[in-house]
Chain A
Amino acid sequence: MIGMADLIGTLLGIMLTLFVFSYILGDNVLFRVATYLFIGTAAGYAAVIAWYNVIWPQLLRPLVFGSQPERLFVLFPLVLSGMLLLKVSPRYTRLGNPAVAFLVGIGVATAIAGAVLGTIFPQVGASINLFDAEGVAPGENAITELFKGGLILLGTLATLIYFHFGTGKSPANNPKRPEWLEWLALIGQLFIAITFGALFAGVFSAALTALIERLFFITDFLFSLF
């Protein structure tokens, strides 16, 4: 048994799904209705979540019902929040610059630290360890691992070389990279192409899965009616 709410919800879902499928015929009003409806709903829900999940419990409730230390602790984000709101006014926009600077500074620091400590160092170490024969896991062939390491190294360097466009002075005033560099760039271009292909396959897989799910949703509903 399907409840009324579920029925209505399902019907709306099917209707909106068909609206989105209508894009195959080109941009049309049905597709726009579906997209606008989705954007509006998402924005409304986001506003509600921001209030009930952030502002009220983390800013206002401690300020109103909290203890003195909690209030003092909340005072600083309260002031920064007020200054950030002044960015809306062209006249007082400069007053929100400190808050923006605080946010940007914290975010950049966090991102850089995480990238360096969480990605660069481990990945570089892992790439180096590929050439460590002692680091080969049991049951794995060292040569295979070595070849794999070499290939990874080649792909990494070739990809970086591909994005290097600096050249030296040429007497003929025709700047051009050296030929060996051009070959490496070509290999890098090959690796890049393979990567983009893999990414495209994944995107296609995801989209196909979403399509399949929608199709099954519709068919299940229709089958459920009968």
Chain B
Amino acid sequence: MSDIRCPMCGKSNPSERETCQYCQARLKPLIISQQPGEPSADKDPLEFLSQSTGYSASESEDEGIPDWLASLRQGDQTDIQSDEAEPSDEEEKLPDWMQAEKVKTAGESQQDEGALPDWLTSFRDSGTTAAVVPPDESAESAELPFVEEEPEWVSRLDETAGIPPDQSIDLAKPDWQDLVEEQEAQPETEPTRIEGSEQAFSIDDRLNELAEEYTRMQPKSGTDSVSEEAAAIPDWLSAVEGSEAEEEPESIPDWLAGALVSQAEPPGIATRDEAELPVPEDLSAALTQERAAEEIASGETGEEPLQLADLETTTPDWLDELVSSKPSAIVEPEEKEASSEIEVPEWLTGYDEPMALDLEKQIPDVGGGEESGILLDWLEEEAEEAPKEPEAVSIDTAVTSFVAPFALDEESQAFLESEESGWMVESADLEGSIEAAELPTEIEEEEGLSKAELPSWLAAMRPLETAAPASLVAEESERQVEGVGPLAGLKSVLPSEYDVGTLKAPAAYTVKLQVSESQKAHINLIDELIKAEGEAGEIPSRRILGPQHLLLIGIAVILLLALLWPVLTEKQTISLPAFSDEIFAASSQITNLPGNAPVLLAVDYEPGMTGELEATVNAVLDHLMLKGAYLTLVSTITSGPAQAERLVQEVSNRAGHTYQSPDQYANLGFIPGSLTGIRAFSETPNRMAPYALDGSSVWTEGPLAGFQSLADFGMVIVLTENPNTARAWIEQAGPLLGETPLLMVVSAQIEPVVRPYFEVGSQQVNGIVAGLPGGAAYEQMIGRPGPARKYWDAYSLGVSLIALLIILGAVINVTYYLLSSRKSTVGETKR
């Protein structure tokens, strides 16, 4: 059992299947039904012959079908109706196209040899009528105007053919006709059934004539059988004329059988055992006609035309030979050559009718002889063309879409590809496809065939040159004919396996960034720097006893020895310094104090400077205590009150005084606010420090009772080592003191800062005692030695040692600098 090839995936399927077992596509083409969009999968392929299309002129107008085609259809429909009403004796149910063919045959006296017989023309009309319809309208135009019911011979053909096309054609596709063509072009191993083939055989007279002509044309071999068969009306043809119900199998003329065979095996399709060729009803006629023509022309290509090997009916030998010798329309593309000029086949000249043509007019009213003559003429032409080389015919994809999907002979193909066939495409609104199609190839004149002269009416209809497809399809694509799939038989189809053979490895474009060597070096360098940034660098090990460290320790030792010498020897040999003006002025101020005068003592030095300041202020406090001054202790630092308390106790104990709080002194504690606190205290001391540290209210009773400002005090003494504190007291409290003297007992380090305030004419500071020298001088002035005297020897030795070391270091550095500069100079001179 032969398999059916799936039109979609191209895989073989059992013949009994209707859908592909791989892709579920239909294997058996659907026959176009009268109703649009109504599939008829199980419908007889030739059922269209017995169906009336019901096509109306209004539909044609809507669909853009040429008027001539519409008129044809109308005429067919009318004919069908008339035929139904008045069945004739012999042609009871003759399709209109057949009748038209009779008429047309008689009227085609103007056709030259090779002109298409009328019956065939009408046959083609009926088939083309469906072909010119746009693919999307194929459903709507499925109704054939001239086939009302399926003739019996058609049904017998179905049975005898046995094997429908093995490739289902989806009528919904726009180029299903091409697919059918391809199917037909394929060599067939088994006979298949062709749809619409019965249509061509419904005219007994016509057939007889054809048979006779062809018999004469064919060689001797097989002619007897051909002539016998051609002379007799086939039974199947009679049955068609008789009734539709007749189901007896009828014999099919040999020439028709050959055409059926060629139709059954379009190229590109392996087998069509059981698949039905879903040729629409309106195209089946044209299909059959063109197949027949192809058979004649296919002999030159050497390919086997479509064959119906398993047909029970016998085909005339002449037809067989014609079929075997004629090349199929859709043959190897390499054997065909593009022809520049397109000649309209003679048989197809009558195909191009003006739009207003009436079908009845087309059908000439001729006798059997004329018909046969006309019929055989084209057959003779085909036979003459047989030995010629096959021509490279490029199929106009768009045009072939009009044509039924069967093999086309060269002439028909050339005609379709010619410029004249452009009107067919235009009417079907397929101009675009025409433009993309390749130019029609020039068909070389074959033997026995001459160029057909266009009739005047056809020439008048001929579209402009510009309407012809101008673009040339690439030669390569011309040669490529799609063999499988829905586009089978079409040329200029981009193959799915495009350039498979020419595939090459794609250029290896590296996606990596191209980095040069220098860039790599820079990258590595930056990378190392970044990495090193995060890494902890090695700290060079520090030598415990380095030269600098040794020098430091040595200096410290010398200094300590110098300082400890007086301590250890308990000798005080160094005389005290002389007092300066500021010290004298301070002393004078204190001396001039009245007895038990309240003195404000601001203790604003840090604990770390206690040693120096206590040694400095000791003599001053001793002097104040000797004067019996009432000491009022305040401080602008938090540790001040404690230090002030300790100071008074130390001085009192060392000097032998018995100063006790709150009788001899009062500790008012801490004054907050720094500058603003000093200012505020200077303005309202009782508000800033209402109570002493012991809780007693000194402003209500005692020596400070009734005091409103600092001006009420007898003296203000500031003890500080901070130049800012000293300046703050001078700036904030000084303007509010009035005649109250302000003394500064400061550290030696801020004496330069405070001295200008003493030397100014206004004397904002009335006395300064600065550092140990000041304290020592003050002690010498009052004649009461204190810690300053104790420390003075050590201080003197230490200062002397340090001075000596400084001088020595300076000398060494200068000498080293001079020597190094001289060496560099000498070195540069030598160079």
Contact = CB atoms under 8 A, between A and B. Distances in A.
Given A45-B639, A126-B760, A213 B791 contact: yes
A58 B690 CA distance: 8
Given A114-B731, A202-B771, A216 B764 contact: no
Interface string B592-611: 00000000000000011111
Given A118-B730, A202-B751, A213-B612, A50 B638 contact: yes
Given A202-B750, A209-B611, A110 B669 contact: no
A208 B639 contact: no
Q: Sort chain A's interface into a size bin.
A: 35 or more
Contacts of B759: 126
B748 interface: yes
B787 A213 contact: yes
A216 B790 contact: yes
Interface stretch (B455-463, B473-481, B559-567): B559-567
A117 B563 CA distance: 45
A150 B826 CA distance: 45
Interface string A202-226: 1111101111111110010000000
Chain A, interface SS category: helix
A114 B552 contact: no
B817 to A, nearest CB: 18
A202 B553 CA distance: 23
Contacts of B721: 206
B564 A219 contact: yes
A54 B48 CA distance: 120
A205 B675 contact: no
Nearest to A106: B676
A219 B732 CA distance: 42
Contacts of B802: 204, 208
Contacts of B309: none
Contacts of A46: 638-639
Contacts of A49: 638, 641, 669-670
A93 interface: no
Contacts of A52: 669, 693
A208 B795 contact: yes
Nearest to A217: B611
B9 interface: no
Contact of A54 (B563, B639, B670, B761): B670
B642 interface: yes
Contacts of A208: 795, 798-799, 802
B583 to A, nearest CB: 15
Counting chain A CB atoms within 10 Å of each CB, the highest count among B611, B732, B750, B798 belongs to: B611
A114 B552 CA distance: 44
B130 interface: no
Nearest to B688: A58
Contacts of B609: 206, 210
Interface in A113-153: 114-115, 117-119, 122-123, 125-126, 129, 135
B611 A212 contact: yes
Interface in B692-716: 693
B690 A57 contact: yes
A199 interface: yes
B43 interface: no
B731 A126 contact: no
Contacts of A175: none
A214 B564 CA distance: 11
A68 interface: no
A122 B764 contact: yes
Contacts of B642: 45
B563 A215 contact: yes
Contacts of B553: 24
Contacts of B690: 57-58
A72 interface: no
A26 B672 CA distance: 37
B732 A110 contact: yes
Q: Sort chain B's interface into a size bin.
A: 35 or more
A206 B608 CA distance: 10
B638 A45 contact: yes
A85 interface: no
B761 A206 contact: no
B747 A122 contact: no
Contact of A202 (B679, B732, B752): B752
B35 interface: no
B727 interface: yes
B749 interface: yes
Contacts of A216: 567, 790-791, 794
Chain B, interface SS category: helix
A45 B643 CA distance: 12
Contact of A206 (B563, B672, B771, B787): B771
A28 interface: no
Contacts of A201: 748
Interface in A4-47: 24, 38, 42, 45-46
A118 B731 contact: yes
Contacts of B568: 219
B762 interface: yes
A199 B552 CA distance: 22
A210 B612 contact: yes
Contacts of A106: 676
B738 interface: no
A212 B556 contact: no
Interface in A53-71: 53-54, 57-58
B756 interface: yes
Contacts of A212: 563, 611, 791, 794-795, 798
A209 B791 contact: yes
A25 B84 CA distance: 136
B761 A119 contact: no
Counting chain B CB atoms within 10 Å of each CB, the highest count among A125, A202, A212 belongs to: A212
A114 to B, nearest CB: 3
Interface string A69-96: 0000000000000000000000000000
B761 A125 contact: yes
A98 interface: no
A214 B611 contact: yes
B732 A118 contact: yes
B579 interface: no
Counting chain B CB atoms within 10 Å of each CB, the highest count among A24, A45, A209, A211 belongs to: A209
Contact of B612 (A42, A198, A209): A209
Counting chain B CB atoms within 10 Å of each CB, the highest count among A58, A211, A214 belongs to: A211
B612 A206 contact: yes
Contacts of B485: none
Counting chain A CB atoms within 10 Å of each CB, the highest count among B556, B749, B759 belongs to: B749
Nearest to A58: B690
A210 B57 CA distance: 130
Nearest to B549: A26
Contact of A215 (B674, B773, B794): B794
Interface string B39-70: 00000000000000000000000000000000
Contacts of A126: 756, 759-762
A111 interface: yes
B735 interface: yes
A153 to B, nearest CB: 14
A202 to B, nearest CB: 4
B691 interface: yes
Contacts of A135: 761
Counting chain A CB atoms within 10 Å of each CB, the highest count among B638, B641, B728, B798 belongs to: B638
29 contacts: A24-B553, A38-B607, A42-B607, A42-B638, A42-B639, A45-B638, A45-B639, A53-B641, A53-B669, A53-B693, A114-B728, A118-B727, A118-B734, A118-B764, A119-B727, A122-B760, A126-B761, A198-B752, A202-B770, A205-B612, A205-B771, A206-B612, A208-B795, A208-B798, A208-B799, A209-B772, A209-B791, A213-B787, A219-B568
Interface of B: 552-553, 556, 560, 563-564, 567-568, 607-612, 614-615, 638-639, 641-642, 669-670, 672, 674-676, 679, 690-691, 693, 721, 727-728, 730-732, 734-735, 747-752, 756-757, 759-762, 764, 770-773, 787, 790-791, 794-795, 798-799, 802
